[in-house]
Structure formats: C-alpha cells, structure tokens
Amino acid sequence: MALKPAFKDFTEQIPQGNIVLLAQAITLAESTRREDRTLAESLIEYFLPYTGRAIRIGITGVPGVGKSTFIEAFGKHLTSLKKRVAILAIDPSSAKTRGSILGDKTRMEELAKDPLAYIRPTATGAALGGVADRTREAMLLCEAAGFDVIIIETVGVGQSETAVRNMVDFFLLLMLPGAGDELQGIKKGIMEMADAIVINKADGDNNKLANQARTDFQYALHLFSLAESGWSPKVLTASSIERTGIAEVWELILEYSTFTNANGYFGLQRKQQDLAWFRESVQHLLTQRLVDRIEVRDAIKLMETQIMDKKILPSAAANKIVNTFLP
C-alpha cells in the first residue's frame, strides 16, 4: 500500500533537518485527536532506528536560578562547536485554564536565532514531574531530525520533578550562590539524582559565595551513597552572563558519557527508561479506558458524593470502584 503523501513528506524531510515539518510532527504527537496521535506514533516508529544518537540532558533548578539564561549560554557554546541543539522548554500550565505563557523563545532570544538550534516551548498540561505529556516523543523526533544534543528544561524543582531523570542521560541541577538556606530547602531526592550541580550566577560580588556553595554542595554529595552508574557527581561554578564555566560543564558531560559508556550503564539506563515509559503508558491507558466508560463515571460521581457526605473512606471508595469494574 502506497504511503500517504503527508507521511512521506515527514519521513523524507525531517531527517534532512526540516524544522517546519519537525514542529508539525511534535504538534501531532501532542494532539489529543486520535488520528493525529496515530500518525505521530507511526512516524516515531518509522524513525525509531535513527534515534538514540544524541546526548539527552535534563536541566532543573530553584526559582530565580536563571535556567533559561544558562541554557542560552550553554546552547551557544554547543553551536560554536558545530553541535545541533534542540531545547524542549517546559512551561507550567495554569491549573485553572490549562494555559501557558510559553515565553522561552523570548528568554533565549539569541539562541532562537541560531540556525543550529531549535527551541520548542511546551506546556506541562496535566503531566507531573516537570515535563510535558509528550516530552519523550518530542525528544525522539528531534533525534530523528539529526540534533546532537537534546536539552529538557524543566519547570523547576519540586517533589515530583525527578520524573525527568527517567528520560535523560545526564541530570544537571542549577543552584544559586549562598548554599546555607538552599541546602536546607532543596529536596534530597533531587540532589541524589543529580549527575552534577552548577552554582550559577558566579560573577561579581557572588564569586566568593559561589565558591563557598561549591564546597558545601560537594561535601553534601559525599554523604550520599554512590549512584548506580558508579559516577561521583561534581559541583562546578558558572556565570551565564560572563560565559565562564560553561565549557567546563560540557566537558564534564562528555566525561560522564565516556565513563558510563565504558561501564555499560549508559545503554542500560536507556533500556530501563524505555521500560519505565512502557509501564507508565500501560497504566495511563488502562486508567483512561476505565474512566471513559459511562457506568464507571457514574459510579465515580456516586462515590464522590458519599465521600463528601463522609459516608465512605476515599481509599475504600477507590477499592469499590476497582473491584466492581475490574474483578
């Protein structure tokens, strides 16, 4: 059976770096329309043998740390090395309207004009973990388009932020100078998952504070158990404004890649991430199929009324729903 022209256009031109068709393919993957999602899944399956060649980097940080400014400086350094860089910048959605500002192209104005860079702002939607619903699909499509480095900028540090760790090779945590308060306030789980910490804004009067923070965080990291990768996380300082320390961050990522490729962890981690993606997808689809049934929705409404009337425990109500419809 002949390929549809639209499908053929995608498969022929995305590998040639056609950004317009890449953007359209990501939009298809993010769509809630079944026909769009079916086409997107067919495209990604077609491209699957051509994915996996990029280095995937997740970048998160405390509010005000300057993630976008750092990523712009980092991205410009990579393009100066002739690397093609895709930035998947995740913006938080409004819980009320599901709307999002999507202002990352404005915040990375210089990088947005770089022909070797592609910035894709995406709203989180209903997804947790500081990533969007279809971040993984967008990442694979960018790899099919030949990008060498994929950067996922998450919405910020939070309890569920660690979800991004399940889709990247290297997890970078940005912090501000003045480590005392931050060491108290930051989630331990984030620090344990970080492959490196960068003290950003290490310039001017902040230099002394940044160096002290570097020492404090390096000491804190030594208190944690060695990661499964065998890698000992490092702490660096950088200034996005002065563009200092940026090259060192990239060298550290390359060092990590070499180290984990040598001990086999790099490939193992990607396989584990694919399995985690599969399990999450099964769980999501099963839940969605269940909730889509009219009789289930009616039963849920009844349980919600009884919960609000304090006639049944929420956990007991959930058990009743599951036991009734999934005996």
SS3 37: helix
Q: Which of 4, 25, 5 is nearest to 14 (CA)?
A: 25
Q: What is the pLDDT of residue 95?
A: 37
Residue 109's CATH number: 3.40.50.300
Q: Is residue 74 in some structural domain?
A: yes
Residues 257 and 287 in one domain: no
Indicate the pTM of the whole model.
0.87
Q: Which domain holds residue 63?
A: 52-263
Q: Is residue 166 in some structural domain?
A: yes
Rounded CA-CA distance 155/152 in Å is 10
11-41 tens-digit pLDDT: 999 999 999 999 999 999 988 888 988 999 9
Query: In the block, which residue shows the tokens 């702490």?
Result: 235
pLDDT band at residue 75, thresholds of 50, 70 and 90?
A: very high
Exposed e or buried b for every residue in 137-148, given b needs 16+ CB within 10 A? bbbbbbbbbbbb
Q: Is residue 140 in some structural domain?
A: yes
Domain end marker among 215, 235, 263: 263
Residues 74 and 219 in one domain: yes
Residues 191 and 297 in one domain: no
* Helix runs in the chain, H state only: 5-13, 19-30, 34-47, 67-80, 104-107, 109-112, 135-144, 179-185, 188-193, 206-222, 246-262, 265-292, 294-308, 314-325
Residues 147 and 64 in one domain: yes
Residues 140 and 286 in one domain: no
Exposed e or buried b for every residue in 227-236, given b needs 16+ CB within 10 A? bebebebbbb
pLDDT: which is higher, 274 or 92: 274
Q: Is residue 93 in some structural domain?
A: yes
Q: Is residue 318 in some structural domain?
A: yes
Domain count, the chain: 2
Q: Is residue 164 in some structural domain?
A: yes
Taking the CA of residue 270 as centre, how many other CA atoms within 13 Å lie in the half-sphere pointing to its CB? 16
Q: Is residue 245 in some structural domain?
A: yes
- The answer for residues whose C-beta is within 8 angstroms of residue 287's C-beta and 6 or more apart is none
Q: Is residue 189 in some structural domain?
A: yes
